[in-house]
Amino acid sequence: MNTDLSLSPQGTALRERLSAFLDEHFFPVEAELDAEMDALDGPEPFGPLMSELRKRARDAGLWNLFLADPALGHGLSNVDYGHLCELLGRGMWAPMVTNGNFPDTGNMEILHDHATPEQRARWLTPLFEGSIRSCFAMTEPEVASSDPTGIQTMARRAGDDWIINGHKWFISNAAGAQLCVVLACSDPGADPHLRGTMFLVPMDTPGLEIVRRIPIFGHAGGPGHAELRFHDVRVSADAVLGQPGAGFLIAQDRLGPGRIHHCMRSIGWAERAQELAVDRAATRAHQGGTLSKAQLVREMLARNRIDIDAARMLVLRAASTIDRHGKQAAYRDISIAKVHAARATQDVVDRAMQIHGALGLSDDLPLTKMWAMSRALRIGDGADEVHLMTIAKHELRRRGHDRG
């Protein structure tokens, strides 16, 4: 395996600029931005401070960094972008400042690959420019959505139009979004992988209801994770993304690099948690010295370093496999990285909380948010067990077993 996981000269230069930008413009107002995002209730996509920071990032050329197409973005490799993602992950809203937040990035990628010229003009251009936001609706309350071939949201033809009825939940960033990319079953009699169609539905279409924002660990503010209902939502034929029946293929397409982005951002959280833990241990007065003298505290710091470094290497290896061999060839590496990074980040943040004592569990520090996000990452983008099944399947195949 000859895998170079280091940054290219272009990536290094961008990383330095991004780091300086975040230090100057983002971190000094992070708490203010948190409060503004928490109060965001739509229909506007961004509050005034976020809009101002986004303008500055765009003016500074730190915009759409995720786009691999050099004609549109910076043409960075996944390895390069992985390193930048880690930096962005240090601040909860830093990805959004650079127009690189989930789920908009994944939606832009599938629009870039599958949209018609008219769909691109209507949705992709404003998403690239950052004047709108979008959400992605696949998961449903009534069925185990780890296997999306069983989804029950139905789309039926009505002349040239389609009518969508169904129920979705945990739809991130729905409040304030203008576009909802929806996966619906359009042909229940077809082969399970050809039943689904992806639709581009304007959020203000009559019948599309945001029922509520679902509280996650007691928090329901901001763009949130919404429960949505589709009551006879009528869209025209040009709302179909790709071909009818291609919905699962497009959904699969969406999840390759996106999973790496989440994992790399999570390593940014973990590094920040470790910095807080180290500083706390080294300065907290304890038994005539500091907490860092206690061997059990040192063990936690050491374990954090091992977890973070292993996670980073696995994530960058997956990014490198995508760069060299494409998304499909990287599924095993992506699954390994996803399972390890989510778990490692959660453990690192948990130890950082422990080292802080009661303070670690308060919202005075970013640790509680990081813990919630890393816990969620073990379910979002495929639960741990789904990825473990993928990894095990590869192991069996390597030895000539399990050809199914």
Angle at 176 between CA 178 and CA 136, to 5 degrees: 60
- Separation CA 99–CA 57 (nearest Å): 9
Assess 380 for contact with ligand FAD (CB under 6 A).
Answer: yes
Closer CB to ligand FAD, residue 145 or residue 320? Answer: 145
Footprint of ligand FAD on residues 233-272 (CB under 6 A)?
none
Strand-pairing partners, residue 154, are: 165, 185
Binding mask 107-136 for ligand FAD (x = CB under 6 A): -----------------------------x
- Separation CA 9–CA 80 (nearest Å): 10
Strands (DSSP E) contained in 141-239 are 154-158, 161-172, 179-185, 196-202, 208-213, 225-236
Assess 379 for contact with ligand FAD (CB under 6 A).
Answer: yes
Paired tokens of 196: 């689904």
Q: Report how many residues bind ligand FAD under the rule CB under 6 A.
A: 20
Exactly one of 3, 146, 243, 362 binds ligand FAD (CB under 6 A); which one?
Answer: 146
Closer CB to ligand FAD, residue 249 or residue 294? Answer: 249
Max intra-chain CA distance, the chain? 80
Contact 233, 201 (CB under 8 A): yes
300 Cβ neighbours under 8 A, 6+ residues apart: 277, 351, 354, 355
Question: Helical H runs in 65-195?
Answer: 78-89, 94-97, 104-114, 117-119, 125-129
Specify the stretch interacting with ligand FAD by CB under 6 A; choose among 12-20, 164-172, 204-212, 305-313.
164-172
Exactly one of 137, 181, 315, 334 binds ligand FAD (CB under 6 A); which one?
Answer: 137
Closer CB to ligand FAD, residue 216 or residue 220? Answer: 216
Footprint of ligand FAD on residues 172-231 (CB under 6 A)?
172, 216, 225
Closer CB to ligand FAD, residue 75 or residue 192? Answer: 192
Closer CB to ligand FAD, residue 137 or residue 200? Answer: 137
Q: How far is the CB of 145 from ligand FAD (least distance, A)?
A: 3
Q: Which residues bind ligand FAD (CB under 6 A)?
A: 103, 136-139, 144-146, 170-172, 216, 225, 376, 379-380, 383, 385-386, 389
